[in-house]
Amino acid sequence: MSDQPADTRSGFIGLAGRPNVGKSTLVNAIVGAKVAISSVRPQTTRRAIRGVATDLEAGTQLVLVDLPGVQRPRDELTSRMQKKVEGELAGADVALLVINGEEGVGAGDRFIAETLLGARNEAREREESGALPIVCAVNKADRLGRNIVPVLVAASELAGVDEVFPVSALTGEGVPELASYLASIVPEGPYMYPPEDRSDQPRELLLAELIRGQALIRTRDEIPHSVEVKVTGLEQREDGLWLVDAEIWVESDSQKRILIGKNGFKVGEIGTGARKDIEQELGGKVHLDLHVKVKRKWRRDEDMLDRLGID
């Protein structure tokens, strides 16, 4: 990275918010690539996924940490997710609180804002200069029209919030302005990732997440929390074709039947959608082989979570 500009700014942006407010979609919009899966299902994000947005002309790099939605832990999986949220925010240079503008500012948003303010106060007590600016993004602004004004006012009144930006992660409205502001307040310093990187995820993990994203889109309410995906094989043949083998895990035989579907129709749909995403990521044709397996109580199995890389 010796060719980077002499004067650069870079920093970690920790995204906080209630489940299903659009954090993953916003990360993808700022990065300009699909580095985090998104769906209408809450708790889509299980790991801290870093998206890297580098502007060589401006000499800035944002490392956006897409965190699981803040929630009360109910098993080993969600306990680990919540600890990951707290740990990543403690090490962030900026906190970005994301709110669903359609739902307005609620008690959950106020709780998260107060938590972020507490973290900032602790940092200041440790005499860390410029500790944890708190920026608020009011998402889905494109759907609100004039009704967005009271939401913006309420967001600006949240404890500790320094700036508020109306955005639409889906359409891109307001995203450049938000990204520009974030880049202006991260610390001066060298890039933390090569400028061409879009994510810090291992390739196999990224592909597994793309497959899981398609499974979330196409399954019933009782399935999403129980689904995990592991890529077990990744190889490119001499003719350029990528061979991807993956296992989709669920916790019961009934969930397996739902995920496979009649005559394999459901898992076929998942494979078709995932293959398109994977081909875009790998830049070539893909043969995807999916296997649905039952891993009972995997969300409570600490060894299993370790192997999946869920800290």
| Domain residue ranges of the chain, discontinuous segments joined by + | 9-185, 203-308
Fold type of domain 9-185: Rossmann fold (3.40.50)
Cα–Cα dist 291/248, whole Å? 6
Domain 9-185 identical in fold to domain 203-308:
no
* Residue 230: strand pairing partners: 247
Sign of CA dihedral 170, 109, 125, 47: negative
Residue 44 three-state SS = coil
Angle, alpha carbons 34-215-170 (nearest 5°)? 35
For residues 232 and 246, is the Cβ–Cβ distance under 8 A?
Answer: yes
The one-letter code for the residue type at 304 is: M
Q: What pTM was computed for the model?
A: 0.71
Alpha-carbon separation of residue 289 from 78, 98, 236, 244, 248 (angstroms): 29, 36, 14, 6, 11
Fold type of domain 203-308: GMP Synthetase; Chain A, domain 3 (3.30.300)
Tokens of 4: 């980077």
pLDDT in tens, the chain (311 residues): 445 566 899 999 989 888 788 888 999 999 987 776 654 444 444 455 678 999 999 999 999 987 655 555 555 555 555 555 566 676 789 999 999 999 999 998 998 888 888 878 777 776 655 678 999 999 999 999 889 999 999 999 999 999 999 999 999 999 999 999 999 999 999 999 999 888 877 888 889 988 988 888 887 665 656 788 999 999 999 999 999 999 998 888 988 998 899 999 999 999 999 999 999 889 999 999 999 999 887 666 665 555 555 55
